[in-house]
Structure 1
Amino acid sequence: MEIDLTAAARPGDPQEVRAWLADQRVFISSAMSDTGEERQAVAAAINAEGARPVWFEELGRDASSEEAYLLGVDSSTIYLAILKNLYGTLLPSGFSPTEEEYMRAREGGKRILVYVAADESTREGHLRRFIDRVRVFVTTESYAGVDDLVRRLRRRLHELAAERLSPWVKLGRYVFRADLIDDSGDTVSLQARVSEDIAHALEQARDRRWGRERMRLTYASRVVEGEIAAVRRTTRAGGASMLEVRLERVTPPQASGLRSGISGMSPAEVVESGLRRLLFGEPLPAPAAGLSFMADPGVDADDLAQAFDLPTEVVDAIVRLVITEGLVGSGNATRILALSVGPRNGGSRRVALEWEDAGQYAGASPARRRIEGNWQRR
């Protein structure tokens, strides 16, 4: 893959960022007894940015307190944890409300932001262990006081907005962020600011003498193939270039047709075993060991290894693109529901993946499958 990493730091248009933030609900999670000042400050900052804070102090009381905070997580788009000194009261589950909220947010595929107080001199052991568990999947930020916390939160909200407004796409072997995707089904148009190398490569594809080149496009949960019908570059004052790409005769990729069960294993179980082997290095179950090609999930192993080696701030997005292209493009899934990639720990990253199985009967609810383990550089 050729990845335009310069796009990762691109800020969003202020008006578009504000409009995106207006649709966001940010759940504030912490031990209330030692983060009162922080909670008030971040709620005010979230309001000032145009989003809506969701916090226990303002949740309705029609339900029990435990139900109220979990419903608050469910109704939010972003989960924000502030971890200072206290773990919180233990619930019958054995966890504090904050940890239960965190687990609910992970299960729901929420965007997760975690801020940990820099001063840990009086931190409870329970909270230290919770922070260790969080850091398996989430890169936390340290804050030195309320003002620093607010500054970091505001910056991160703007980064999230920029990521959503300019989603990552994969066109052929080229990965970049698009400013606009116009998908009418049989035609897809992209607008993007890309590196000179990627712009040149796409212009060469346009200028082929014999026939139009077909490329595969992946974004969100969509995987299609189309002809490069037009590539137009607009250069503005200061040297910034905008590239417009139009794909025509767009169709879904042709599935391999090899999706089937093996000796008591369903097709979905065969695909899952292939993913476990690819992601975590687990051996195939005995029924599939002699027919390993049947367990191929369709994901490119080299692209996946390259994606896992990327910086933490972009690894989730690019790994998701690669897995979506392979798993959905091969007909083994209809969409990726959730993906979490933890910070690098030596040559390893913790990974949790959930997807919707493609093999469904008419009228049946889509089956969801989930795996979790350690990606190990091999």
Structure 2
Amino acid sequence: MDNVALLIDQRSASLAASEEDVRAWAAGRRVFVSSLITDMPDERAEVRRAIESVGATAVMFEDLGAQDISAEQAYLSGVRSSEIYVGMWGSRYGVRMPDGYSATHAEFLEAERDGLRLCLFVHGETGGDMDGPQRDLIQGTRNLYTTSPWSDPADLGRRVRRRLEELAAEELAPWGRVGRTLFRVREITNDGKTISLTAAVRSDAVHAELVRLRDNRSGGVPFAAPHTALPVQIVELSTRTVSTIGHEERLTLVTQEQRGSSMRASINGLSADEVFQRALSDGLFGTSTLRQQMGWLARPIDPLEPLRGLGLDDSVVRPVARLLFTERLITEQAASRIDSFTLGPSHQGGRRLRASWTPPQVYVNEPDPAAVSIDGTVSGL
């Protein structure tokens, strides 16, 4: 699987969601707004308007009301109840709380730990009067994530709305894999035996490969979606060609029996989950933690090998990397679900990858297994 030459429909990453779809996506979604309140009243008002204009709920400290908990607990509770974090950082760090962090810094760390989607904005760097701790926070964050500037409150509001629309488009049309093709999928229906999906494919190479798989009646074709990975056979493919580069595809797939994993065994005192975690870390990050324990028996696992050296844009590499990561862990029966996956921007040839997952239960009546996580730098993406 690692050495398969993938066909990726990169043009489909630019597909935008309609205003109606964005509002449907945003309904009930909470967006936490983090900044120094007294320093940015106009910015906060514009960001609130931007969030509410797409139909989401702005979570702001000034709206939390009287509560019988500390201000610090209220801040962090607001973060934990949200799905998206908008951080606006100016020149001042803010007053340190008992834990040593300012409120905005603590909120960012909580959002990062909880896996919220991060939207980070920075202003006031050119004046030369930025607090030292604030500069350290911004520079450290940029080693992992991309930040955006803003010129005035109205500009910030426009940037926040545009980012929310981008997140909506990304989640409304997730990526899928059929064989060695990867493309964005509009809709997936799965009854456990038959999978139906629709997609707007904008790559002739991807379309031709789907036709080949259909005509050859290929069985055991890998299929992966955000929460599913299993072998399938394409039994039907109908295409409506809407332009010289556009194909409306409708596929019907029949699921096939999955083979068991060879990794679910304790070895040399390591549990099956520890063996897989080390094999995954060694394959992704180039370490040798498993080899130290198992010697020549060590088998590193790198789900992202097919992506290395392709130079994909961020809008493609992030969702595709998550899809391949999820597929490998589910296929290897190492995870029942992926709890978080964060791939940072490219920095000096590497990207920080952090992920956590929940292993499958061995026995029905046992508690949920403890989550497993990895954290390191991947190169070549």
> If the TM-score is normalised by the length of the shorter chain, which range does it land in?
over 0.9
Per the TM alignment, residue 302 of structure 1 is displaced from its structure 2 partner at its CA by: 2.5
Q: What 5-or-longer segments of structure 2 have no aligned partner?
A: 1-5
**Aligned ranges 1:151-170 → 2 under 5 Å:** 151-170=158-177
TM-score, scaled relative to structure 2: 0.92
Q: What are the superposed Cα offsets for residues 136-181 of structure 1, whole Å, 9 maximum, x if unpaired? A: 2221111111111111111111111111110111111111100111
In the alignment, is the contact (CA less than 8 A) between 1:214 and 1:228 conserved in 2?
no
Query: Matched residue of 2:38: which SS?
Result: helix
* Aligned equivalent of 1:323: 325
- For residues 341 and 245 of structure 2, the distance between their equivalents in structure 1, rounded to whole angstroms, comes to 37
Query: Matched residue of 1:290: which SS?
Result: helix
* Aligned equivalent of 1:38: 43
Identical aligned residues as a percent: 33
- For residues 126 and 352 of structure 2, the distance between their equivalents in structure 1, rounded to whole angstroms, comes to 25
Q: Does 1:291 align with 2:301?
A: no
Give the counterpart of 1:186 among 183, 193, 196. Answer: 193
Calculate the aligned-residue CA RMSD, in Å: 1.9
- For residues 83 and 53 of structure 2, the distance between their equivalents in structure 1, rounded to whole angstroms, comes to 17
**Aligned ranges 1:186-205 → 2 under 5 Å:** 186-194=193-201, 195-205=203-213
Q: Does 1:126 align with 2:136?
A: no
* Aligned equivalent of 2:100: 94
* Aligned equivalent of 2:374: 371
Q: What are the superposed Cα offsets for residues 310-337 of structure 1, whole Å, 9 maximum, x if unpaired? A: 2223322111111111111111222221
Give the counterpart of 1:67 among 70, 73, 80. Answer: 73
* Aligned equivalent of 2:146: 139
* Aligned equivalent of 1:111: 117
Cα distance change, pair 263–198 in 1 and its aligned pair in 2 (3 A): same
Query: Matched residue of 1:92: which SS?
Result: coil
Give the counterpart of 2:334 among 332, 342, 351. Answer: 332
In the alignment, is the contact (CA less than 8 A) between 2:361 and 2:368 conserved in 1?
no
In the alignment, is the contact (CA less than 8 A) between 1:116 and 1:143 conserved in 2?
yes
Cα distance change, pair 115–261 in 1 and its aligned pair in 2 (3 A): same
Query: Matched residue of 1:57: which SS?
Result: helix
Per the TM alignment, residue 43 of structure 1 is displaced from its structure 2 partner at its CA by: 0.6
Cα distance change, pair 53–264 in 1 and its aligned pair in 2 (3 A): same
In the alignment, is the contact (CA less than 8 A) between 1:189 and 1:245 conserved in 2?
yes
**Aligned ranges 1:214-233 → 2 under 5 Å:** 214-233=220-239
TM-score, scaled relative to structure 1: 0.93
- For residues 353 and 376 of structure 1, the distance between their equivalents in structure 2, rounded to whole angstroms, comes to 16
The residue identity in structure 2 corresponding to 1:13 is: S
In the alignment, is the contact (CA less than 8 A) between 2:314 and 2:345 conserved in 1?
yes
Query: Matched residue of 2:289: which SS?
Result: coil
Q: What are the superposed Cα offsets for residues 273-298 of structure 1, whole Å, 9 maximum, x if unpaired? A: 111111111113422223113xx44x
In the alignment, is the contact (CA less than 8 A) between 1:333 and 1:358 conserved in 2?
yes
The residue identity in structure 1 corresponding to 2:308 is: A
- For residues 128 and 119 of structure 1, the distance between their equivalents in structure 2, rounded to whole angstroms, comes to 8
Query: Matched residue of 1:193: which SS?
Result: strand
| Count of aligned positions | 371
